[in-house]
A and B are shown apart, each in its own frame.
Chain A
């Protein structure tokens, strides 16, 4: 009972610390000096370097979804609807969530490990001794790079996912090309795409904050950095799924209600 109580208290303390950390990130975003070169460097590192994995994963998901859907839609002789189904699902849900999960694994753990290593080797302390606030220098560019990069990569995932679906449906399963494209353009609404982009930006914010938080407050040695990287991936993954549920509920009412 006492162990449970202290676990709950520890969890609440961490949550409080995360809240304070997030508020600090927002405060330091607007304070001078503004370091746009750091932001662009992070956008390149997070975004450009992630294009291959996003292309690969979204193409694969588009292909697999089409295979499964054509199997089911075939029972109702509605195979041409596969494109529309993939388009809506990718735009509203899969593109933002899969992109976020891929980038948590690729970039989130790297952010935690990098900042965590800097913490244990006193590089963050060194920055503070030079009156450079480490949250402003290290965390702010990474968080806002994630907010910018996630929607862009989500948009790319949308396009590539549909390309994968087209390849399987039209080339492999011989679905009529004109019918496929007609249903795709008829049923996929710009609102589907916008809702996915909005989700992606919020998920980027969550992933950027959580990954940086776990690295920033590492205590101990290299094992602690490894543990923090693992914990940040788990925490970020669970958080984005919870956030996705909440946002889906809100967006369905606001945009599609």
Chain B
């Protein structure tokens, strides 16, 4: 992939389900090697936007440019080639429950990278598990793992495919604060150590403001606000300000309670 500033660009993207419009004329760009967080109310279309980018859904209208090429009108085979550069971390991990942890992580090595040497595959699996700090669980099945472990195995599986962009669908939802912090620091490592572009859908406002280089706020089917965390915090959008107010008040309350203790 060329080392350009903008790696993914969405232009005038719209998506409806029957008469129910979800995305309406979305325009947003994602910069290479940066972390972008997409915030929005539940049901605002954040996951739908991500699924359009990764190809699980097809847009009704608009362009999805990867490395400057609009992939929407391309034949299926060519679209798949472009989409191999993007990894996706599902909210519920979506690990293959009939496969062990090792087989899950080996899946993209075999199917995407076409590796055949079993020793080499095992070595890479080991490396990925070490990277997410989960060595020794290769033979476990997903139902034997905790939620946090499943997320890290899912991350290891996404990394195994050697993508250039990673999409995270609510990576910290449902996790305790300690795990939230560890997942956020993993995302930071993915960006800093591996140089991957990260796009995150999240409700963790505080975390995203600490983590992201850019914040986008999706509301009523459109990107209402876009910019650095400092710039976004100053925008007088009522729904966004409510979000920020509630999240930072809750964070402050937690800090105050800790001080009282």
B217 to chain A, nearest CB (A): 25
User: What chain A residues lie within 8 Å of B54 (beta carbons)?
Assistant: 129
B97:A129 contact, CB within 8 angstroms: no
User: What chain A residues lie within 8 Å of B213 (beta carbons)?
Assistant: none
Is residue A125 contacting chain B, with contact meaning CB distance below 8 A? yes
Is residue A78 contacting chain B, with contact meaning CB distance below 8 A? no
Is residue B107 contacting chain A, with contact meaning CB distance below 8 A? yes
User: What chain B residues lie within 8 Å of A123 (beta carbons)?
Assistant: 94-97
Is residue A131 contacting chain B, with contact meaning CB distance below 8 A? yes
- Identify the closest chain B residue to A31 (Cβ): B77
Task: Say whether chain B's binding surface is mostly helix, strand, loop, or mixed.
Answer: loop
B149 to chain A, nearest CB (A): 17
B83:A131 contact, CB within 8 angstroms: yes
Q: Which of B80, B87, B94, B111 contacts A122 (CB 8 A)?
A: B94
Complex Cα spacing A114 to B54, Å: 24
B146 to chain A, nearest CB (A): 17
Q: Which of A33, A117, A121, A128 contacts B55 (CB 8 A)?
A: A128
Is residue B258 contacting chain A, with contact meaning CB distance below 8 A? no
B36 to chain A, nearest CB (A): 18
Tell me which of A121, A123, A129 has the highest count of chain B C-beta atoms within 10 A of its own C-beta.
A129
Chain A: interface size category: 10 to 19
User: What chain A residues lie within 8 Å of B86 (beta carbons)?
Assistant: 129
Is residue A132 contacting chain B, with contact meaning CB distance below 8 A? yes
B186 to chain A, nearest CB (A): 19
Complex Cα spacing A147 to B148, Å: 42
Is residue B161 contacting chain A, with contact meaning CB distance below 8 A? yes
Is residue A49 contacting chain B, with contact meaning CB distance below 8 A? no
Is residue B131 contacting chain A, with contact meaning CB distance below 8 A? no
User: What chain A residues lie within 8 Å of B236 (beta carbons)?
Assistant: none
Question: Which A residues, 97 to 146, have Cβ-Cβ distances below 8 Å to chain B?
Answer: 114, 117-118, 121-123, 125-126, 128-132, 137
Complex Cα spacing A132 to B96, Å: 13
User: What chain B residues lie within 8 Å of A128 (beta carbons)?
Assistant: 55-56
Question: Which B residues, 64 to 103, have Cβ-Cβ distances below 8 Å to chain A?
Answer: 80-81, 83-84, 86-88, 90, 92, 94-98
Is residue B206 contacting chain A, with contact meaning CB distance below 8 A? no
User: What chain B residues lie within 8 Å of A122 (beta carbons)?
Assistant: 90, 92, 94
- Identify the closest chain B residue to A132 (Cβ): B111
Is residue B112 contacting chain A, with contact meaning CB distance below 8 A? yes
B108:A130 contact, CB within 8 angstroms: yes
- Identify the closest chain B residue to A35 (Cβ): B111
A125:B112 contact, CB within 8 angstroms: no
- Identify the closest chain B residue to A125 (Cβ): B56
B94:A131 contact, CB within 8 angstroms: no
B88:A129 contact, CB within 8 angstroms: yes
- Identify the closest chain A residue to B51 (Cβ): A125
A129:B92 contact, CB within 8 angstroms: no
Question: Which A residues, 126 to 171, have Cβ-Cβ distances below 8 Å to chain B?
Answer: 126, 128-132, 137
User: What chain B residues lie within 8 Å of A132 (beta carbons)?
Assistant: 107, 111-112
Contacts A121-B94, A125-B94 hold; do A131 and B80 have CB atoms under 8 A apart?
yes
A178 to chain B, nearest CB (A): 53
> Contact string, B130-168, partner A, CB cutoff 8 A, digits 1/0?
000000000000000000000000000000010000000
- Identify the closest chain A residue to B169 (Cβ): A122
User: What chain A residues lie within 8 Å of B90 (beta carbons)?
Assistant: 122, 125-126
User: What chain A residues lie within 8 Å of B161 (beta carbons)?
Assistant: 130
Complex Cα spacing A129 to B107, Å: 12
User: What chain A residues lie within 8 Å of B92 (beta carbons)?
Assistant: 121-122
B96:A129 contact, CB within 8 angstroms: no
B83:A126 contact, CB within 8 angstroms: no
User: What chain A residues lie within 8 Å of B95 (beta carbons)?
Assistant: 123, 126
Tell me which of B54, B81, B94 has the highest count of chain A C-beta atoms within 10 A of its own C-beta.
B94
A126:B88 contact, CB within 8 angstroms: yes
- Identify the closest chain A residue to B88 (Cβ): A129
- Identify the closest chain A residue to B99 (Cβ): A123
A112 to chain B, nearest CB (A): 15
A221 to chain B, nearest CB (A): 13
Q: Which 8 pairs of residues, A with B, have the shortest CB-CB distance?
A: A126-B94, A122-B94, A129-B88, A131-B80, A132-B111, A131-B84, A129-B54, A130-B108
Instruction: List 15 A–B pairs whose Cβ atoms lie within 8 Å, in order of A's numbering.
Output: A114-B98, A118-B97, A122-B94, A123-B95, A123-B96, A125-B51, A126-B90, A126-B96, A129-B54, A129-B55, A131-B83, A131-B84, A131-B111, A131-B112, A137-B111
Residues of A participating in the B interface, judged by any CB pair closer than 8 Å: 33, 114, 117-118, 121-123, 125-126, 128-132, 137
Residues of B participating in the A interface, judged by any CB pair closer than 8 Å: 51, 54-56, 80-81, 83-84, 86-88, 90, 92, 94-98, 107-108, 111-112, 114, 161
